């Protein structure tokens, strides 16, 4: 249980200007930025190798107005991006607050590319639901593992100390509500205390904490958690104990397309590009174009908590740019057949029902109508044999609620004043998705890890 204690004045075992809890994308970007601004930095990470949820992700970061977009002649702007986030989040977050990470994320990506040679490029062969421009930036393998490897290599180059197997258990407070330092525990039970001038919480949200999930997201209380198990919600619990404001704790990213039982993410491009989902009866049950996040609960409501994602070879080729999809194919998760009836046999759903579903979808595409679920099919390419199917389930990926922060990622009290020297970034901070799964626009996770990491590092160094 995360704990807070008044520092008794004894000497710390070590000291750094800026101490960062967690070495995911948010923590490492904050560290790089603080170091570049001249601060002494120490990153504390509970795992032996820093990976976090970032390494499990597709590593795609949305940003508007980057040089990568300009080079590809993509028209986009911060205003359009803010508008997309607000539309997906049903207007719940305030526009001025959303504009903070949106404004910071493009410079963060460009800075990492220029200073640390991270070779970002923009995905240009499909858009995620709700984004009105191609703006997902990723590394060559389109994987979060590569993102983490490259951020770790950058931290090494910048001579940043990362202490691994160091789980921060306790915040030590000093005068006037300042954080004087932290206490950490090692796997062998030994403990150390580290002093700091500023503390950055980069230990993500509470997706790995079953009790907190049951409290704030009851509809996913028994769902598969697909994020990093170390995301136990300490930042939120520490913040609450310090009198900080938390917000939108029920907000989260779910996903309705995790291969079952392989546990591999199947990109939602499989749906957006013209695929659809059916249940065990071979029937569609939703508008798949809405977004994958809200589909977690929708898929879990189907018999057995599963669905089949159906697409074709053209879409599989688009999906193959993702390492995850290639792994899913290698593990036999993607079944193929030449006709809907043969596919039905392979996935054990009624052949006549699946054939009728295919027929209805293709007729809707041909006539460009909106179907009874509200999905607009105009302009979407028909599916052509060979057809593909993957058995999927719904999962919780990460939580979006968190500690309220200002434009420097400083943690705020309910009256809007900032705590003296505490920052929160990434999943530890209040996200921009509002209070519902359906408010999550693709990329909102790494958006706040990159943007608030970049802002917090610079502001903490000034302290
Ligand atoms: C499968 C999957 C796919 C996703 N795809 C995308 C995507 O393509 N785009 C996108 O924007 N978002 C995506 N997300 C969400 C995204 O991964 C997260 O929002 C983002 O990685 C959060 O970064 P972070 O730095 O806040 O946390 P993390 O990357 O989780 O890092 C937190 C670190 O803190 C450490 N830690 C925790 N507690 C302590 C402690 N007490 N002491 C010391 N260390 C501690 C953890 O071990 C971890 O290393 C995806 C998530 C999942 C699970």
Expressed in angstroms and rounded, the spacing between residue 243 Cα and the centre of ligand 1 is 24
- Distance of CA 77 from the midpoint of ligand 1 (Å): 27
Which residues have CB under 6 Å of ligand 1? 21-27, 44-47, 50-54, 56-61, 167-168, 202-204, 226-228, 230-232, 234, 253, 265, 397-398, 426-427, 443, 445-447, 449
Q: How far is the CA of 258 from the centre of ligand 1 (A)?
A: 18
Give distance in angstroms: CA of 32 to centre of ligand 1. Answer: 17
For the CA atoms of 95, 101, 106, 110, what is the dihedral angle to 10 degrees? Answer: 170
At residue 378, the pLDDT reads 95
Q: How far is CA 171 from CA 73, 190, 462, in A?
A: 48, 17, 21
- Residue 255's contacts (CB-CB under 8 Å, 6 or more residues apart) are 226, 265, 268, 292, 293, 295, 296, 394, 395, 397
Structure tokens at 374: 């509200």
- Atom in ligand 1 nearest the alpha carbon of residue 426: 26
Nearest CA to ligand 1 atom 39: 203
Atom of ligand 1 nearest to the CA of 265: 1
What residue's CA is closest to ligand 1, atom 26? 426
Domain boundaries, the chain: 3-251+400-462, 253-396
> How far, in Å, from the CA of 324 to the mean position of ligand 1?
17
Other C-beta atoms within 10 Å of 294: how many?
20
Rounded CA gap, 34 and 401, in Å? 25
CA 53–ligand 1 middle distance (angstroms): 3
Atom in ligand 1 nearest the alpha carbon of residue 2:
41
Residue nearest (by alpha carbon) to ligand 1 atom 17: 54
Return the residue whose CA atom lies nearest to atom 53 of ligand 1.
Answer: 227
Q: Torsions phi, psi of 234, nearest 5?
A: -60, -40
For a mutational test of ligand 1's pocket, the pick from 49, 53, 58, 144, i.e. the residue with the most ligand atoms closer than 8 A to its C-beta, is: 53
Give the model's pLDDT for residue 1.
Answer: 63
- CA-proximal residue: ligand 1, atom 14 (nearest): 57
- Distance (angstroms) between ligand 1 centre and the Cα of 374 equals 33
If you take atom 3 of ligand 1, which residue's CA is the nearest one?
Answer: 57
Name the fold adopted by 3-251+400-462.
Answer: FAD/NAD(P)-binding domain (3.50.50)
Which has the closest alpha carbon to 148: 160, 158, 139, 157? 139
Q: Rounded distance, CA 398 to CA 226, Å?
A: 8
Structure tokens at 18: 């800026």
Cα(459) to centroid of ligand 1, in Å?
22
Contacts of 176 (CB under 8 A, 6+ apart): 420
Options 2.160.20.70, 3.20.20.10, 3.90.700.10, 3.40.50.300; CATH for 253-396 is 3.90.700.10
**Cα–Cα dist 123/5, whole Å:** 47
DSSP assigned state of 405: B
Cα 98 off chain centre by = 16
Residue 293 backbone dihedrals phi, psi, to 5 degrees = -65, -50
Alpha carbon of 430 to ligand 1 centroid (Å): 14
Rounded to two decimals, what is the model's pTM? 0.91
What local confidence, expressed as pLDDT, does residue 145 receive?
Answer: 96
pLDDT confidence of residue 401 = 97
Residue owning the nearest CA to atom 19 of ligand 1:
445
Pairing of β 179-185 and β 167-173: antiparallel
Instruction: Report the relative pairing of strands 61-62 and 136-138 from DSSP bridges.
Output: antiparallel
Distance 335 CA to ligand 1 centre (A): 31
- Whole-Å CA distances, 446 to 26, 209, 331: 8, 20, 28
Ligand 1 centroid, distance to 160 Cα (angstroms): 20
Per-residue pLDDT of the chain (463 residues; tens, 9 = 90+): 679 999 999 999 999 999 999 999 999 999 999 999 999 999 999 999 999 999 999 899 999 999 999 999 999 999 999 999 999 999 999 999 999 999 999 999 999 999 999 999 999 987 888 999 999 999 999 999 999 999 999 999 999 999 999 999 999 999 988 999 999 999 999 999 999 999 999 999 999 999 999 999 998 998 999 999 999 999 999 999 999 999 999 999 999 999 999 999 999 999 999 999 999 999 999 999 888 999 999 999 999 999 999 999 999 999 998 889 999 999 999 999 999 999 999 999 999 999 999 999 999 999 999 999 999 999 999 999 999 999 999 999 999 999 999 999 999 999 999 999 999 999 999 999 999 999 999 999 999 999 999 999 999 999 9
């Amino acid at each position: 249980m995360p704990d807070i204690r008044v520092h008794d004045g004894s000497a710390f075992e070590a000291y750094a200007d800026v101490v960062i809890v967690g070495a995911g994308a948010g923590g490492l970007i904050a560290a790089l930025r603080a170091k570049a601004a001249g601060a002494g930095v120490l990153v504390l990470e509970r795992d032996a190798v820093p990976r976090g949820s970032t390494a499990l992700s597709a590593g795609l970061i949305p940003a508007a107005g980057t040089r990568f977009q300009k080079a590809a002649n993509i028209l986009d702007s911060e205003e359009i991006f803010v508008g997309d986030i607000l539309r997906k989040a049903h207007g719940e977050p305030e526009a001025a607050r959303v504009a903070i990470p949106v404004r910071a994320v493009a410079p963060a990506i460009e800075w990492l590319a220029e200073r640390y040679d991270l070779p970002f490029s923009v995905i240009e062969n499909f858009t995620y639901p709700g984004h009105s421009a191609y703006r997902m930036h990723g590394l060559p393998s389109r994987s979060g593992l590569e993102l983490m490897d490259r951020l770790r290599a950058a931290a090494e180059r910048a001579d940043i100390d990362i202490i691994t197997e160091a789980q921060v258990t306790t915040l030590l407070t000093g005068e006037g509500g300042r954080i004087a330092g932290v206490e950490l525990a090692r796997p062998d039970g030994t403990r150390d205390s580290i002093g700091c001038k500023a503390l950055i919480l980069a230990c993500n949200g509470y997706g790995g904490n079953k009790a907190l999930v049951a409290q704030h997201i009851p509809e996913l209380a028994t769902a598969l958690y697909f994020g990093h198990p170390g995301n136990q919600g300490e930042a939120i619990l520490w913040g609450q104990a310090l009198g900080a404001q938390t917000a939108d704790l029920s907000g989260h990213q779910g996903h309705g397309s995790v291969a079952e039982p392989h546990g591999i993410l199947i990109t939602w491009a499989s749906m957006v590009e013209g695929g659809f989902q059916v249940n065990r009866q071979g029937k569609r049950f939703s508008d798949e174009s809405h977004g994958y996040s809200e589909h977690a609960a929708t898929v879990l409501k189907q018999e057995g908590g599963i669905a089949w994602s159906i697409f074709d070879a053209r879409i599989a080729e688009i999906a193959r740019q993702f390492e995850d999809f290639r792994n899913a194919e290698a593990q036999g998760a993607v079944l193929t057949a030449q006709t809907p009836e043969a596919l039905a046999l392979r996935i054990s759903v009624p052949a006549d029902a699946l054939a009728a579903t295919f027929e209805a979808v293709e007729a809707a595409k041909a006539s460009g109508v909106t179907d009874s679920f509200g999905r607009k099919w105009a302009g979407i390419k028909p599916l052509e044999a060979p057809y593909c199917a993957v058995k999927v389930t719904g999962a919780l990926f990460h939580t979006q609620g968190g500690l309220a922060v200002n434009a420097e990622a400083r943690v705020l009290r309910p009256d809007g004043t900032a705590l003296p020297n505490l920052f929160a970034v990434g999943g530890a901070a209040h996200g921009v998705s509002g209070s519902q799964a359906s408010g999550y626009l693709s990329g909102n996770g790494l958006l706040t890890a990159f943007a608030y990491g970049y802002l917090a590092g610079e502001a903490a160094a000034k302290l």
